Amino acid sequence: MNLKLKYAELLSNHVDLALDEIKNLIEIPPDSKMGDLAFPCFSLAKKLKNSPVKIAESISGSLEKLPLFKEVKNIGPYVNAFVDPSFIAHGILSEIAENGSGYSSQPENGKNVVVDFSSPNIAKPLAIHHLRSTMIGNSISQLYSKMGYNVIKLNYLGDWGTQFGKLIVAYNKWGSEVEGELTISKINELYVKFSKESSEDNDLNDQARNWFKKLEEGNAEAIKLWKWFKEISLIEFEKIYKKLGITFDVYGGESEHAASFLTVVEKCESLGISSISDGALIVESEDENDPPCLIRKSDGATTYEVRDIAALLDRFDKYEFVKMFYVVGQEQALHFKMLKMVVKKMGLAFSNDCEHISFGFMKFQGKSGSTREGTAILMEDVLNTSVAEVRKRISESGSKRNISEEAIQQIGIGAVVFGDLSKKRVKDSEFIWEEVTSFEGDTGPYLQYTQARCLSIVRKSNHDFMEQADFSGLTEDSEKLVLLKLNQFSEAIINSANNCEPSLLANYLLELAKFTNRFIHGGREEHSKRILQESNLPLQSARTALVHGIAIVLKEGLRLLGISSPEEM
């Protein structure tokens, strides 16, 4: 039920503005005592040549009475409406019960959205800097899918470049020293050793460049080692993605576009947007403060930039996307600015549909680490630590409830995911284990507990509550706050998706959980506010329907963030 639209329609007969304009002006008051919806009259003052307060008085006095709004009155320059909870309850809760997890879903629109996220480098373990891209990108994918788009989740692997020349040199030089089966960790150890040795022996860097050139030319030995490194890496990556519950529609890589870079070069040259500088081919930036975009190195080798441009052209040819999101750290901002600049200079309009979804750095207990230096904090270690912390908390709590291992895994992993997504993505994120794994406060476990608690209440009610409910009994303020918050789920999804900001949805869920727990706790203080009312089955059924609706929205909201919810806790 779109309450803002209903209120805008009521106001439209008395306000000389377009319906959408009225709807967009409507606000939610900061205090529920002031009403549930507020229409500010400031924009009408000049046109009507009157004060906003007088205009608000006039409008509120002339509005027709509707069952939806039990009262409409002006509070200063605002026309404020008070919603009748018993009237909206049946519509909202019936819709949730009927649609289940499909509540607030929009019909398929046939439009494609490509989300490029996670994108680890081959031969390097998944570390915490991949976690943010993986979690943010997965949530954005789920949100746009919920809004009816056909989402292509793309993992664009870093499987090409000079680093593979370094790895080949390292393996040929020190690979015989590796004990046992070659793993991604052991490959990374070779990479770290190369980085240290090459800082003192520049000849190793020359060898690496030579081996990468051989790889580009199709040298059999180079190709064989490259494929082997890639195969080992993908096996390790899939283990982590499975633990996170994340799948991809497409695995791509820079290597797929290494051969098509000539197309980009030819287009740049034929359009006259490129020039030669010190033997290299460049495209000058539109911003004099930015360096030029390097299209081809002086030795003829491809560049990261040109491979990304080639990949973008291929993606549009294949998907004809309406949005192309690159979920990559803010340190890559210049790279994506250059990419869009070159594609725009090519005269391709879809450059405006490409967006870099940047994010800040992540630290755990003040540490971040570096893959090159061998100090990276691995994603698998972070997830395992969180699960161990949750298990420890449960053990120390003295709870006699038998919580399954599956639930402990869901809580531990969910704590990490929510700890990341609950913060604005552009801000640096720091994890303090005592905070993110807590079952109280603004945490994932708190939301999971609230959802499980609601399901427990529904099970205790044990009857067909929708059939027997008398929604006219839902008159408590605490009940109305929960109903209004449930009704805002769709708006929270849209705002979160449009801003590519999962934290907006995360904070909506926290508000819903807080209203929910106040509603439930009210029954401890007054018997009449208890959910389970054996002497008043119609009221018990109505309140059970409300709790059932909360459980559905919390579970679906957490799913959109990439978090699984235990049925029992």
CA distance 279 to 476: 76
Of the candidates 71, 6, 3, 85, which has an alpha carbon nearest to the alpha carbon of residue 471? 85
pLDDT band per the 50, 70, 90 thresholds, residue 297: confident
Q: What b-and-e string marks burial along 156-192, b requiring 16 or more CB atoms within 10 Å of the CB?
A: bbbbbbbbbbbbbbbbeeeeeeeeeeeebebbbbbbb
Q: Residue 74, Cβ neighbours under 10 Å: how many? A: 21
Helix (H, G, I), strand (E, B) or coil at 162: helix
How many helices (H) and strands (E) in the chain?
Answer: 22, 13
Q: What is the pLDDT of residue 362?
A: 82
Q: Quick one: pLDDT at residue 525? A: 77
Which pLDDT band, with edges at 50, 70 and 90, does 1 fall under?
A: confident
Is the Cα torsion angle 393, 394, 395, 399 positive or negative in sign?
positive
Last residue of a domain, one of 57, 83, 109: 83
Percent of the chain at pLDDT > 90 equals 73
Work out the pLDDT band at 67, boundaries 50, 70, 90. Answer: confident
C-alpha span between 264 and 286 (Å, rounded):
19
Average pLDDT over residues 297-324: 91
42, 61, 83: which is the final residue of a domain? 83
Average pLDDT over residues 273-298: 93
Q: What is the DSSP string of 273-320?
A: --EEETTEEEE--SSTTSPPEEEE-TTS-B-HHHHHHHHHHHHHHHH-
What average pLDDT does this structure show over 356-383?
A: 75
Whether the predicted pLDDT of 216 surpasses 70: yes
Residue 297 burial (C-beta neighbours within 10 Å; 0-12, 13-18, 19+): middle
Under 8 Å between Cβ of 313 and 304: no
pLDDT of residue 526: 82
- Listed in sequence order, the DSSP H helices in 178-260 are 184-198, 203-216, 220-244
Split at pLDDT 50, 70, 90, the class of 180 is confident
Average pLDDT over residues 227-241: 94
Residue 373 lies in a domain: no
Q: Is 378 helix (H, G, I), strand (E, B) or coil?
A: strand
Query: How many Cβ atoms from other residues are within 10 Å of residue 232's Cβ?
Result: 18
Q: What residues have CB less than 8 Å from 463, skipping those under 6 apart?
A: 537, 541
Helix (H) or strand (E) holding 449: helix 444-461
Other CB atoms within a 10 A radius of the CB of residue 515 amount to 20
DSSP strands (E only) in 87-149: 112-116
Whether residue 392 is predicted with pLDDT greater than 70 in this model: the reply is yes
Give yes or no for a contact between 229 and 164, defined as CB atoms under 8 angstroms apart: yes
- Predicted local confidence at residue 75, as pLDDT: 95
Percent of the chain with pLDDT over 70: 97
Question: Is 293 buried (19+), middle (13-18) or exposed (0-12) by CB count in 10 A?
Answer: buried
Whether residue 213 lies inside any domain: the answer is: no
Evaluate whether 141 touches 153 at the Cβ level (below 8 Å): yes
Q: How confident is the model at residue 140 (pLDDT cuts 50, 70, 90)?
A: very high
Rounded distance, CA 540 to CA 546, Å?
10
Find the mean pLDDT for residues 482-509. Answer: 97
* Phi, then psi, of 227 in degrees rounded to 5: -65, -35
Cα–Cα dist 191/166, whole Å: 7
Cα distance between the two ends of the chain: 32
Q: Are strands 323-327 and 293-296 parallel, antiparallel or unpaired?
A: unpaired
Answer with the residue of higher pLDDT: 73 or 176. 73
Would 245 be classed as within a structural domain?
no
* Mean pLDDT to the nearest integer, 145-149: 98
- Specify the pairing of strand 112-116 against strand 429-431: unpaired
Adjacent-strand bridge partners of 75: 78
The residue-averaged pLDDT of 249-264 equals 84
pLDDT at res. 400: 66
Residue 314 lies in a domain: no
Q: Are the C-beta atoms of residues 267 and 346 closer than 8 Å to each other? A: yes
Cα 296 from chain centroid?
35
CB-CB contact of 394 with 408 (8 Å): yes
Least confident of 79-93, 199-213, 254-268: 254-268
Q: Residue 318 is encoded by which pair of tokens?
A: 């294949």
Helix (H, G, I), strand (E, B) or coil at 70: strand
What pLDDT, on the 0 to 100 scale, is given for residue 19?
A: 95
Q: Give me the residues paired with residue 363 across strands.
A: 430
CATH of the domain at 550: 1.10.730.10
259 pLDDT more than 80: no
- pLDDT computed for residue 257 by the predictor: 77
The 3-state DSSP class for residue 404 equals: coil
Give mean pLDDT, residues 476-492: 94
- Of 83, 111, 145, the residue at which a domain comes to its end is 83
C-alpha Rg value of the chain to the nearest Å: 28
- The mean per-residue pLDDT over the stretch 73-102 comes to 94
**Domain of residue 39, residue span:** 3-83
Across all residues in the chain, what is the average pLDDT? Answer: 92
Token pair, residue 281, equals 């081919």
Query: Which range is most confident: 179-193, 253-267, 498-512?
Result: 498-512
The per-residue pLDDT for 358 is 96
Helices (H), 333-378: 333-345
Q: Is the pLDDT of residue 95 over 80?
A: yes
- pLDDT tens figures, 395-447: 888 776 788 999 999 999 999 999 999 999 999 888 888 899 999 999 999 99
Give yes or no for a contact between 355 and 113, defined as CB atoms under 8 angstroms apart.
Answer: no
Cα(417)–Cα(437) distance, integer angstroms: 11
- Over range 212-218, report the average pLDDT: 89
How many domains is the chain built from?
Answer: 2
Residue pLDDT, tens place only, 169-178: 999 999 988 8
Single-letter code of the amino acid located at 141: S
Do the strands 150-157 and 112-116 form a parallel or antiparallel pair, or are they unpaired? parallel
∠ at Cα 216 (275, 160), nearest 5°? 90
Residues in the chain: 569
Which amino acid, residue 523? Answer: G
Confidence of residue 365 (pLDDT cuts 50, 70, 90): low
Name the E strands within 43-171.
69-75, 78-83, 112-116, 150-157
